[in-house]
Chains A and B, each alone.
Chain A
Amino acid sequence: MNFTLFVTVALTGILFVAIVTLLARLIAPRSFNAQKEEPYECGIPTRGRSWMQFRVGYYLFAILFLMFDVETMFLFPWATVMKAMGPGGLLSVIFFLFILVLGLAYAWRKGALKWQ
């Protein structure tokens, strides 16, 4: 039943956007104008392409995020059974968290967290 509802809600979202867009396209006025199709930039024509290389800082954070997100994913099953495991569960995860913190400390030391 849950999976049915998941599919239902996902389809609802898609259909909602599709139908409302169709409705808007039907009732909205339409006019054609060469100027209107230009990308917006303070009234000056755009110079060069906008699909270009971007500064690496953003990607660096994305890579760091990937590492941490995958590692926190492993913590979810542990957190669910933490209560039942007691102090032993805490001890066993300390090592894992230690490696996680070590990774952050390494990135910090290397200057990956500094914006330049």
Chain B
Amino acid sequence: MFNFQDITTWIHGMLTGTLGLPEWAAILTESIGVALAVITLYAVFAIFLIYMERKVCAFFQCRLGPMRVGPWGTLQVFSDVFKMLTKEIINLRQTDRFLHNMAPFLVVTASMLTFACLPWNKGAHIIDFNVGVFFFLAVSSLGVVGILLAGWSSNNKYSLIGAMRSGAQIISYELSIGMTMLTMICLTGTMSFSEICADQAVNGWNIFRGHLPAVLAFIIYLIAGNAECNRGPFDLPESESELTAGYHTEYSGMHFGYYYLAEYLNLFICAGMAATIFLGGWAPLTIAGLDGFNEVMAYIPGFVWFIGKAIFVVFLLMWLRWTFPRLRIDQILSLEWKYLVPISMFNLVLMALVVAYGLHF
């Protein structure tokens, strides 16, 4: 498997050795490169996912979706972005101006930090703490603060109701996310995302390795992840037929664009985490005994595997979204607290049992 670390080491060597830059200047240059890479990836994935969502939704409803701008409507999203940029950002009279302007910063920064946690390839991860999963959970809950601030500062009743629903929903489902990740940490025995992937490249994907408890955890993670992104049957916070737009009702132009961007990126991050923790990240599919098959699979680069798996999970989540009707708030909360939390706790004990007695593959 190709190791991306070689390239980063080479760049560092070139900056310090060939160009003769001091250490701090080399690190500064690399940081700027990383920043540009993050922004580019962020924008590319947001645009791709918005296009994919519109097309998938259209095909589920027997429509064609965007067709006019560009071939098959591929330039539609670009034109939307430019339209948003040229729209006026309206300052309302009675808002809490400071908090109103601060909320998009929190939402976008939180999603960017979690985005940087994804391991793209062997050696190609931006932030890789040894407590990676912990860091991921901590940072992703920063987004809730942004949403609550947005709803509260808008001085609008729709926004307030949307933000309150969103807050209650996201913090509730965060428990299930944490618990399912805990289950998989039990199996791998490490919290660093790169090590989780490396472990799966050797021992096989977690979802196969942990059989029953892993599959259960994967299903719970998908449900909770869908709720975490405020999507699908859980799109109460922005249910357009009752709350106009939920917590971002009062945001206009590019300010609204940030929420849109962060929402789609959160979808990708959720899917990417599912791919990393359950489906092996950049690890290729290997079947014991079929050596020829394994060799061919190992030729496919790691980032293709990772992005392929993530897009597959994204498609699953879109499928969920366009299939099920919206739930009520009491149904959402009782689904989490009365079903998912007890099941995931039981699942944790089951996984601990499996690990303790070595019943996994």
Binding site for B on A (CB under 8 A): 1-2, 4-6, 8-18, 20-21, 23-25, 27-31, 36-41, 46, 49-51, 54, 57-58, 61-62, 64-65, 68-69, 72, 75-76, 79-87, 89-90, 93-94, 97, 100-101, 104, 108, 113-115
Chain B neighbourhood of A101, CB < 8 A: 342, 345
Kindly identify which residue among A1, A57, A69, A82 contacts B352, using a CB–CB cutoff of 8 Å: A82
Which A residues touch B313, using CB under 8 A? none
B66 CB, min distance to chain A CBs, angstroms: 23
A61-B158 contact, Cβ under 8 Å, with A72-B179, A113-B338? no
- For the complex, is B134 an interface residue (Cβ under 8 Å from A)? yes
Q: Which residues of B contact A85 (CB under 8 A)?
A: 356
Is B21's beta carbon under 8 Å from chain A? no
A103 and B168 CA atoms in complex are apart in Å by 19
Given A38-B93, A83-B355: A51 in contact with B27 (beta carbons within 8 A): no
Contact A25 B89 (CB under 8 A): yes
B: contact size bracket: 35 or more
**Chain B residues close to A by CB (< 8 Å):** 27, 31, 34-35, 38-39, 42, 84-94, 104-105, 108-113, 116, 126-129, 131, 133-134, 152, 154-160, 164-165, 167-168, 171-172, 174-175, 178-179, 182-183, 185-186, 189-191, 244, 249-250, 253-255, 258, 329-330, 333-334, 337-338, 341-342, 345, 348-349, 352-353, 355-357
Residue of A nearest to B255 (CB): A21
B154 lies within 8 A of A39 (CB): yes
Which of A1, A24, A76, A83 sits near B182, CB closer than 8 Å? A76
CB <8 Å contact, B86 and A27: yes
Check A61 against B112 for contact (C-beta < 8 Å). no
**Contacts A58-B164, A113-B338; A90 near B353 (Cβ below 8 A):** yes
A13 adjacent to B249 (CB under 8 Å): no
The answer for the CA separation of A76 and B89 in the assembled complex, in Å, is 43
Chain B residues positioned under 8 Å from A50 (CB to CB): 154-157, 159-160
Known contacts A40-B244, A75-B182; A28/B172 CB under 8 A: no
Residues of B within 8 A of A25 (CB): 89
Contacts A113-B338, A115-B333: A5 and B89 contacting too (C-beta < 8 A)? no
Nearest 3 A/B pairs, CB to CB: A13-B109, A115-B330, A24-B254
Closest A-chain residue to B349, C-beta based? A97
New contact pairs (8) apart from A58-B167, A76-B191, CB-CB < 8 Å: A2-B128, A21-B255, A28-B89, A30-B88, A50-B155, A50-B157, A69-B178, A80-B189
Is B34 a contact partner of A6 (Cβ separation < 8 A)?
no
Q: Quick one: which of B35, B112, B126, B175 contacts A72, CB cutoff 8 A? A: B175
**Option from A14, A100, A115 in Cβ contact (under 8 Å) with B105:** A14
A89 to B338, CA, bound (A): 27
Residues from chain A with a CB closer than 8 A to the CB of B86 are: 24, 27-29
- Taking CB atoms, residues of chain A closer than 8 Å to B131 are 76
CA distance A4 to B31 in the complex (A): 8
Closest to B101 in A: A21
Closest chain A residue to B164, Cβ basis: A58
Interface pair B185/A80, CB less than 8 Å apart: yes
Q: Could you tell me if A39 and B156 are in contact, using CB atoms closer than 8 angstroms?
A: yes
The one of A2, A12, A89, A97 that contacts B356, using a Cβ cutoff of 8 Å: A89
- Shortest distance from the beta carbon of B33 to any chain A beta carbon, whole Å: 10
Given contacts A13-B105, A51-B152, A80-B191, is CB(A65)–CB(B160) below 8 Å?
no
Residues of chain B lying within 8 A (CB to CB) of residue A65: 171-172, 174-175
Which chain A residues lie closer than 8 Å to B105 at the CB level?
13-14, 17-18
B92 and A61 within 8 A (CB)? no
Bound-state Cα–Cα, A46 to B250, Å: 14
